[in-house]
Amino acid sequence: MSQQNKAYLYALTAILMWSTAASAFKIALSVLSTELTLLYASLTATLVLFIIYFSNREREELNLKDIKKSLISGFFNPFIYYLVLFEAYNLLPAQMAQPLNYTWPIVLTIMSGIVFREKLKWAVWIGLMVSFLGVIIISSQNTDNYTYSFMGIFLAVGSSLIWSTYWIINMKDKRSDSLKLLLNFFIGSLFILFYILIFDLPWTINTKGLTASIYIGIFEMGLTFFIWLKALKISDQTAKIANLVFLSPFLSFIFIAIILKESIHLYSVFGLGVIILGILLQKIIKF
């Protein structure tokens, strides 16, 4: 098998795993708090990444400076990012929270332009407006409690800002992916553990919630992150792989309908399509 075909195989495997994550989120959050879901998932991801890191014979040596470098990254992801995202899933149907979170590619483009002082083309702003229209379409669905839904919408869209901040920090970090991921999740696990202890939050262990959280830790976080980065690394063109990620939210709707028994509304599908159209426009338009 050629390297490029291996890259496609890795990428599609990661996309399939990510497509099941929204359903796992809702299952875990139906019986656990956002904080405990994150703690169990993050600890699982840390264990998975620990095994991956120490299985690599050519791994970088770990030192105290590496831990210091990961303090900020681990704070943003997994700690703050998943706390916000999980709470959004707590307040919204999965079919709303999942596509609203998908505004991150265009937010990342804008933030990268600002941070790295690159002139942003008109295409980026056009794409932003189109994607925002998709957010409005999804948000216009009827919900049982508008107040909570509004907060859920705010958190789901806001999570894209946190994710984009994390990736900008990550782009400046030249350490190996396996080392960065391991330390980020280790530090993030400590943050959420201290958060739970400081605020004296209720501590429960539920078999259903724990199983779903472990699944999230493996197939949304640890293993899947590593597989995706592996696909990007061995591909002869990053764009060939990166564009495949747009399959994930549509596949996710299928799992949401089958596993969670949610009736997928036209607003969700159409709104997601408009968000992705906005993301694609910024890449296609030349001015």
CB-based contacts of 16, cutoff 8 Å, min separation 6: 251
**Where are the strands (E) in 66-157, listed by range?**
none
**Which pLDDT belongs to residue 27?**
98
Torsion of CA 91, 96, 98, 104, to 10 degrees: -100
Tell me: pLDDT of 82 over 80. yes
**Which pLDDT belongs to residue 14?**
93
Furthest-apart CA pair in the chain: how many Å? 54
Helices (H) and strands (E) in the chain — how many of each? 15, 0
Please give the residue that has the higher pLDDT: either 121 or 287.
121
- Please provide the average confidence, as pLDDT, over all residues in the chain: 87
Q: What percentage of the chain carries pLDDT values higher than 70?
A: 95
Q: What percentage of the chain carries pLDDT values higher than 90?
A: 48
Among 7-11, 114-118, 238-242, name the most confident range. 7-11
Distance CA 23, CA 88 (A): 13
Distance CA 106, CA 283 (A): 10
- Residue 108's pLDDT band, with cuts at 50, 70 and 90, is confident
Q: Which of 22-36, 170-184, 192-206 has the lowest mean pLDDT?
A: 170-184
Q: Which of 1-5, 96-100, 145-149 has the lowest mean pLDDT?
A: 145-149
Distance CA 280, CA 248 (A): 15
Please identify which residue in the block is written with the tokens 């999942």. Answer: 98
**Which pLDDT belongs to residue 265?**
86
Q: Domain residue spans in the chain?
A: 3-284
Q: Which two tokens stand for residue 100?
A: 């609203």
Distance CA 242, CA 234 (A): 12
pLDDT, one tens digit per residue, over 160-197 is: 999 999 988 887 787 888 888 999 999 999 999 999 99
Give the residue-averaged pLDDT of 144-172.
83
Q: Which two tokens stand for residue 194?
A: 């201290």
Q: Phi first, then psi: what are they for 77, rounded to 5°?
A: -145, 115
CA 181 to chain centre: 14
**Which pLDDT belongs to residue 146?**
47
Amino acid identity of 51? I
Please give the residue that has the higher pLDDT: either 108 or 35.
35
Distance CA 193, CA 38 (A): 9
CA 180 to chain centre: 16
Q: Is 235 helix (H, G, I), strand (E, B) or coil?
A: coil
Q: What angle (nearest 5°) sits at the alpha carbon of residue 277, between those of residues 272 and 171?
A: 90
Give the residue-averaged pLDDT of 102-112.
81
Tell me: pLDDT of 145 over 70. no
pLDDT, one tens digit per residue, over 224-277 is: 988 988 887 887 767 667 778 888 999 999 999 999 999 888 888 888 899 888
Contact between 88 and 100 under an 8 Å Cβ cutoff? The reply is yes
Q: Which of 147-151, 208-212, 260-264, 271-275 has the lowest mean pLDDT?
A: 147-151
**Where are the strands (E) in the chain, listed by range?**
none
Among 34-48, 95-109, 243-257, name the most confident range. 34-48
Please identify which residue in the block is written with the tokens 């605020």. Answer: 199
Tell me: pLDDT of 283 over 80. no
